Chain A
Amino acid sequence: MRNKIEINKRKKIRAYISVRNEILGIVLLLPAVLSLLIFKYLPVAVGVFESFFKIDIVNLPGDFVGLANYIRAFTDKQFMGSIFHNLKAFVYSLAMNFWIPIVLAMLIDEIRKGKTLFRLGYFIPACTPAIAMTVLWKYFWQPDYGLANYFIGLLGIEPQLWLSSEKLVYFCMYFPGMVVCGGMNMVIYLAALQDVPREHYEAAIVDGAGILQRVRYITLPAMKNIIVLMLTLSIIGSFNLMENVLVLTGGGPANSTQTMYLYAYQVGVNSMDYSYAMAMTTIVFVITMILTIVFNRITNKED
């Protein structure tokens, strides 16, 4: 009898505790969930909603037009063309920027003395605000008095248009990343390098593997996960590319750097067609979402 009461009591206490726990959890989660709901999910919902309308600034949301904005986006040559600008940007960033921090991290990892000095030396200059550096480089590329034309002039090369040239503009966009190449990415790779098991190298030396072979067969495979992850971020980044381009070229010359988001932005700003702009941002958003999910799948499988 007493035992039963005891059990009942315990059950009650347990139930009480679990209810308390639930409440506590919900209360703790509430501020974050609410703010994410209001400031992230709600705007996206507003954007999707508005993209089915033809916006009327005076009386929001305007007339319902169904899928008209989406059909317009898919038949808009300029928007479709801008996808290739995003891809082009990605290829350039891969060729000119992506691999440098990896190599740099490996080199810094090799040295025995002055590691901290080099790490800081490469880290600090890259901490400067991105837009500030973009503006600075804009002056370097200026064709009339910029440093770029001065330097190639010393080598006897004809002055170039740089940012105003369709051929060179992507090069100019990613060249700064080659010059100032350290920063966060380098530190991340450096951290990843610490996890490579040292004994593998010793074993490799015994087997007579050269330096490059050791990099090829030990270091890179061990860093594979982080490299794939950074690659994913880099792809998503190039689909989200916009602020940098806006400041550097404004989408020019002749729209050759107009990325998807930039085009949407300019449609919104210049012709105040928010609803069409939002239809386009929704499309880009869906593309990046699919990309993220696909890459997450791939990386998870490998794990």
Chain B
Amino acid sequence: MKNSSKRLRKALAALLAAAFCVPLAGGCGKSPKTADEEKVKLTLWLRPPADALEHKIISNERMEAVLIEKFPDIEFDFKTQPIGIDYRQEYDKALMADTAPGFYTSFSYTDLPSRMENGTVADITEFVENWDLKKEGKVIDIFDHAISKNGKWYALPGEAYTEATLVNTKTIKSAGMDAGSLPKTWKEFAEFGVSVTDPSVPRIGYSLIGMDWCAWPFTAWVWSAGGEMVEPNEDGTYRVAFSDEPAVDAAVFLNEMIWKYKMTQKDVLADLGTVHQNLVNGTACFSWMSLQDLDVDELAEFDMTMSDFTNMAMPVKDASIPGPALAGGEVIAFNPKLSDKELETAWEVATWLYFSDERMQVMCDELKEFKHNDIKVPGRADWYDKKLQANVSISKEQLESLKELNKNAKPEPYCPHWSEIKSELVAPLQKIYTTEGITRDEVKRLLSECAEKIYTLYPNEFKK
């Protein structure tokens, strides 16, 4: 008995050790790292994933080396942004676990209104107000309305871009059509789409997004019918406008493209990745997107080059409406859990990385070196032209088409709860897309119901 209990104790001790001490030891192992008082720690989520394109990896390696050299007082922790289930959620999760990066570059500016309210981004007013570059007017200001509120600043502007319709001219030519005269109105677009579509090739006119991001391109379609998604009221609240006639027209036209003209892919709820694939592999002639979403190396896999593509404004309901494009962009938000000193460090690094002349020059040089393309508007407005010129793979005409597009570009709405509105719209839009021969009244009813839901969900922000 005695003997056995000894052995038992041994076994149990081992078990307990295995079951409880190892993780605790693992957990404790983190904290007692001798905190170097001199060095401020800064976590960055900038390292590209291992399967990223080669030039991105090389460019990042250089950047890390430069950062370490430039900021010897900072202890950098370079990390890849966890992919997880949803990229925004990974930031929030990390924020909860105290592992979030010093600054985060993947928020769309439309995310900011809600985030300013729930405190998941830091207040950086004192830095922005003393920022020389901004005083000199060298920083792009198109996001200012979204990243500041009541005189307080919550983020730095990132890169801006416009999205509308991307055209694969190679596919159009292979269908025997003239890529020089692209359709301008819905009618022309539908005719064009019908004549290029041939399921046996397979070749389709327009590749459309039906996944849970469908409200994003839908916004541009509503604009192309002369409508709006939301409109500001005089008292600072908003009116839901996506159940008005223009929006109904747009939804009906999208349904007709699918079911009447049969010019889209059959998988009408396709996600962004599929739509992108359809365009670059030559299946689709048109899709939602823009030149900046293409990558030279990726195109090479499908025997395409940048010159096979061009930007086009959204087709419009009637010729009197200027062809719209949707402007979007990312902002650089700071971790609200940083201490004052850490925040200052993060600010220094972020402004140096994204706004210094030195880095802008490196960006242009690398664009040339890797023959890569990046036509987003950089944070430094004064460097935009130089950056565009550094895109050796993009022709003059394409750049012209881009500038043409930018003229009529409208920013994505940035009213409160915009992301939630977009998710609420998914169900009615998917229903419209998947129902063959849906009536106009039915479309109107679905959109109005959704509008009503928004009014009841957010009574303080939305009024009729």
Contact = CB atoms under 8 A, between A and B. Distances in A.
Contact of A254 (B15, B95, B202, B431): B431
Interface of B: 1, 5, 8, 12, 15-16, 19-20, 85-86, 88-89, 92, 95-96, 118-120, 202, 210-212, 265-269, 336-337, 419-420, 423, 426-428, 430-431, 434
B420 A253 contact: no
Contacts of B20: 31, 34
A143 B265 CA distance: 8
Given A57-B96, A252-B269, A144 B202 contact: yes
A164 B268 contact: yes
Contacts of A163: 269
Contacts of B1: 20
Given A56-B118, A57-B118, A269 B89 contact: yes
A164 to B, nearest CB: 4
A164 B15 CA distance: 51
Interface in A222-280: 250, 252-255, 269-272
A143 B267 contact: yes
B337 A142 contact: no
Nearest to B453: A77
B120 A57 contact: yes
A212 interface: no
Contacts of B120: 57-58
Contacts of A24: 5, 8
Interface in A10-37: 20, 24, 27-28, 30-31, 34-35
B86 A270 contact: yes
Contacts of B423: 270-271
B247 to A, nearest CB: 17
A27 B15 CA distance: 11
B336 A58 contact: yes
Interface in A21-80: 24, 27-28, 30-31, 34-35, 56-58, 60
Interface string A135-170: 000000011110001000000000101011110000
Contact of B210 (A31, A164, A272): A164
A42 to B, nearest CB: 14
Contact of B268 (A27, A161, A166, A269): A161
Interface of A: 20, 24, 27-28, 30-31, 34-35, 56-58, 60, 142-145, 149, 159, 161, 163-166, 250, 252-255, 269-272
**Most B C-beta atoms less than 10 A away, residue of A31, A164, A272:** A272
B115 to A, nearest CB: 10
Contacts of B427: 254-255
A144 B89 contact: no
Given A24-B5, A24-B8, A164-B430, 10 more contacts: A27-B8, A56-B119, A58-B336, A159-B266, A161-B434, A164-B269, A166-B434, A255-B426, A255-B430, A270-B86
Contacts of A164: 210, 267-269, 430, 434
B420 A271 contact: yes
13 contacts: A27-B12, A28-B12, A31-B20, A56-B118, A58-B119, A143-B267, A161-B267, A163-B269, A164-B267, A164-B268, A254-B434, A255-B427, A270-B419
Given A31-B16, A161-B266, A164-B268, A254 B212 contact: no
Contacts of A143: 265-268
B24 to A, nearest CB: 11
Contacts of B428: 254
Q: Which of B268, B269, B426, B428 has the most CB of A within 10 A?
A: B269
A226 B27 CA distance: 45
Contacts of A165: 434
Contact of B96 (A60, A161, A250, A255): A60
Nearest to B432: A254
Contact of B86 (A28, A145, A269): A269
A139 B419 CA distance: 30
A57 B419 CA distance: 18
Contacts of B15: 31
Contacts of A271: 419-420, 423
Contacts of B337: 58
B49 to A, nearest CB: 20
Given A161-B266, A165-B434, A269 B119 contact: no
Nearest to A169: B434
Given A35-B19, A161-B268, A269-B85, A253 B434 contact: yes
A57 B266 contact: no
A250 B428 CA distance: 16
A28 B85 CA distance: 39
